[in-house]
A and B are shown apart, each in its own frame.
Chain A
Amino acid sequence: MTERENMKVSKSWLLELTKLEVSLDEVVRLLPLRTIGTKEITEDFIELDMKGYNRADLLSMRGVTYEVAAITDSKVNFDETDENEYIWESNKLPQAKVEVECPKLVPLYCIAKISGLRVEPSNKDWVKKLEDCGVRSVNNLADITNLAMLEYGQPMHAFDAGQVKDEVLIVRTAKDGEQIVTLDEKKRDLIPSDILICDSEKALGLAGVMGGKNCEVTDETNTILLEAAIFDPIFIRKTAQRLNLPSEASRRFQHGLTKKRLLQALSAAIKMYQDLGGNLEAISIIGDTSEPTKKITVNQGRVNSLIGVDIKPEDIENYLKRLYFGVKKIENGWELEVPYYRLDVNIEADVIEEIARMYGYEKIPSKKLEGNIPEKIDQKLFDFIYNLKISLVDLGLTEVQTYSFYSTKILSDLGFRNSDLIKVSNPMSSETEYLRDMLWPNLLEKVAFNLKQGYESIAIFEVGKVYVPRENDLPEEKYKLAIAIADGDDSIQKLYTIFQKLNEYFGDTKLEAGESELFHPVRAWQLMKGGRQVGQIGEVHPRITNKFGIEKRVAIIELEISNKQACDLWSLKIRNL
């Protein structure tokens, strides 16, 4: 299975599950206004943009149906299965052999043993439902697990019982150094935070992520062990991310599942296997199946003050009932029972969002900000930076902005020691692996780039942050100014002129001769202020510029501007520039 962040909603399946009062076109129009953004829309499906979303319920056809019914004021076309209607309630069955060694990570684990099956292609109706939802049809036995997952949101897995040694399933965490061959025939190294499904001698699958090769349903399969479980979402996420195995199943585990849906899905799937001639021989349900109802009290005043619109109480009640909340009127508000499948609704503000979107965000009017303007805080740094930029532009320089990283060329040609720099642990490429601690190297690169494309003289500057490691603290982030001039043999004199001009406003900065391999041996100076180096000015050593393909002289200056005192002084004076 490939990674898909979205939920493809089969249109025909949706129509089957809803007594829809409006057209499908109206559903398509309303979904982004009331619920969630949509991506691709075809004759067969509506794709919901689920990236990062918290609506676990929308990863099931039933959940989507409830939502569509609510926003279109329609009714759903199915009943919630009651506990006493589950298929295993009617007759006494033996227990399937299951051991859960890590119950904290597996709050509910169910296995149903079903025999008398035969592998065949699925019927057209099943194939269409699956394909509409973007899932490939495999065969009738595997397709049932996917159909149940799509309808109820509960992932399922079918093991070939004949391949499970002693027909016993053991759920445990992996041991260090353990390996498994997954369905895609790749050998995977495991770590102790991976949850495994095993038989009495070997690992059969990575729980919630991918089945193993050694027990998949084949053409010879006639008995299956059908698994429906809830695994710890954080553990599943870690495993799926580490092994780069995102799947339809694993993202549902990550978003969160409900016990009620699990049991409904299991019951429905068993029924489908029975309709194919299968016999339910044994079943095990390990874990607490009760699901407490969430209750939230909502204050009517809070609703209207947060939305800013006076919505009539009867409208609020109506919206909440359409969303299948249990609604009880109390003084100044309501006591609500949250539908069991709405894992995203936990506090009053969540309910206020439900009311706002049912009312229609697009109908909320615009009202000016009221209240007092807060006290002023120091804005000198920002004012200073802007004024500085304007002044430099007035002097004929052009502002550039460059990456906060050093390129590999800069690192190698300037001979920077990587150990002095802040490193990105997971860079996109080696070009974005180290953060800059100076600005001018990036400017030099831009000088070279622009000379190459035909410019003869260049005068550019950048104001930006550099990053320097600091003991036991976040790295130091300093604002700096860098200027690069490549405009004839007197570039350094021109730069000095600009510096002097800035220096009038910069306070008392002195030049001191300073040597550095990066700079011209006699045309480079340190900029000192109060006995501390605050920057440098000079010609870049031709050995360096030549490496960048530059034959002209390049003069650069780099200056700290984070010093608050300097800022105070500068901001006063620079306006006069």
Chain B
Amino acid sequence: MEDKISGIKKTYLDKISSAKSLGDLDEIFLALFGKSGEITQIPKEFSKIPKEDLKTIAPLFIQTKKELEEAIEKRREEVREEKYAKLSDEKIVLQPVLQPVLQPERLQAKIKSDGGHLHPITQLEHEITELFRKLGFQQFNAPHIDTTKYNFELLNIPEGHPAMDLWDTLYVECKKCNVNPGELLLRTHTSNAQVRIMEQNKPPIRMMILDRCFRYENLDARHEHTFDQFEIVYIDKKVNMTNLQYLSEYFLKAIFGTDIKVRMLPKYYPFVEPGAAVEGQCIFCKGKGCKICSKGWLELTGAGMIHPQVLKNGGIDPNIYSGIAWGFGIYRIALLKYGVPDVRQFLSGDLKFLEKY
């Protein structure tokens, strides 16, 4: 038995060192470790060997197996490196492969037979921005990495306030940036744009923010730590809660159909007063109550009249102007609209998912 093992070792180490390609090595691997490979077969004979002999044979076998595995891996690397060394011979002159380039059909046919796909979130976001552009809202760009000042403090959320529990925050370190530790974070909501918008614009204001936010969240079918939010900031004279109801109806009817019923409920957010949750009647059970909704209603957006202190923080006189902040998580709307079962699919890069849209 010992001779047999040594024999295999010698034969195959030779084969391995003379292997020229990854294909050769794959063959050797199979011959050794495949279902009926020589190494695979050996332990099957152990039952016939006296216990005393096994004490020397078993360790020898384990050692040999390991050496062969390592030899294959090492040779694989060498073969690869030999290939890599030849890369410098692969010089090419870049030139368009298809002419003329302004023929999408041909490129398409060449690159992928069934054409490309816009991400479902991009499609939904485009639909939403077009909807609100019609009402005169314009997109505003705000940072993803921001300070606690804009993400919390100026929004009426002082450090140590229990309302902080609403946002499980990811904090960021950046020595170069020279910001005190604990003051830099990944924005937890698009509301970090609110005071920036007020600082940079005079009323009347109709702005929208549509972008990525982050929370400390463990992933499951319903939770993502990275997600998109949509939010509008609307400030003018005489803005009131009936406008809030209008915006909610305008949006939800456009997305889910004109027969959806929409209602507001009291809800606390530190940066609005009065604050509201907006519910739509469940699109699946039409209000009868089902697994997806809560007694016939789905909570879809959060909103409210901008808190007078937040207006002041943005340099706007709350005695003259009032405002609405209104927003929602894009993924939640997309899950409902497209019937996607798992929120993690959006950032999966899985073409099988993306090609459905």
Contact = CB atoms under 8 A, between A and B. Distances in A.
A459 B146 CA distance: 34
Nearest to A397: B116
Interface string A304-339: 011111000000000000000000000000000000
A12 interface: no
Contacts of B206: 369, 373-374
Contact of B84 (A390, A393, A471, A541): A541
Given A395-B108, A395-B116, A449-B349, A362 B264 contact: yes
A404 B144 contact: yes
Interface in A470-517: 470-475, 477, 485, 487, 490, 492-494, 496-498, 500-501, 511
Interface stretch (B13-21, B36-44, B50-58, B134-142): B134-142
Contact of A398 (B141, B212, B248, B355): B355
Given A347-B308, A474-B177, A522-B88, A364 B116 contact: no
Contact of A35 (B118, B236, B266): B266
A191 to B, nearest CB: 15
Contacts of A308: 240-243
B307 interface: yes
Nearest to B244: A364
A424 B186 contact: yes
A52 B164 CA distance: 7
A123 interface: no
B263 A422 contact: no
Interface in A334-375: 347-350, 352-353, 356-357, 361-362, 364-374
Interface string B252-291: 0000000000011111101001111100000000000000
Q: At the interface, is chain A mostly helix, strand, loop or mixed?
A: mixed
A552 interface: no
B318 to A, nearest CB: 8
B245 A396 contact: no
Contacts, number: 339
B268 to A, nearest CB: 5
A374 B207 CA distance: 9
A60 B267 CA distance: 19
B66 interface: no
A394 interface: yes
Interface in B148-186: 159-160, 162-166, 170-179, 181, 184, 186
Contacts of A134: none
8 contacts: A361-B241, A398-B354, A424-B170, A464-B212, A477-B143, A496-B96, A521-B87, A542-B80
8 A-B pairs with the lowest CB-CB distances in the bound complex, closest first: A308-B240, A446-B349, A52-B166, A353-B274, A308-B242, A234-B160, A373-B136, A396-B108
Interface of B: 80, 83-84, 87-88, 90-92, 94-98, 101-102, 104, 107-112, 115-119, 121-122, 126, 129, 135-136, 138-141, 143-147, 159-160, 162-166, 170-179, 181, 184, 186, 201, 203-206, 212, 214, 216-219, 225-226, 234, 236-249, 263-268, 270, 273-277, 299, 305, 307-308, 322, 346-347, 349-352, 354-355
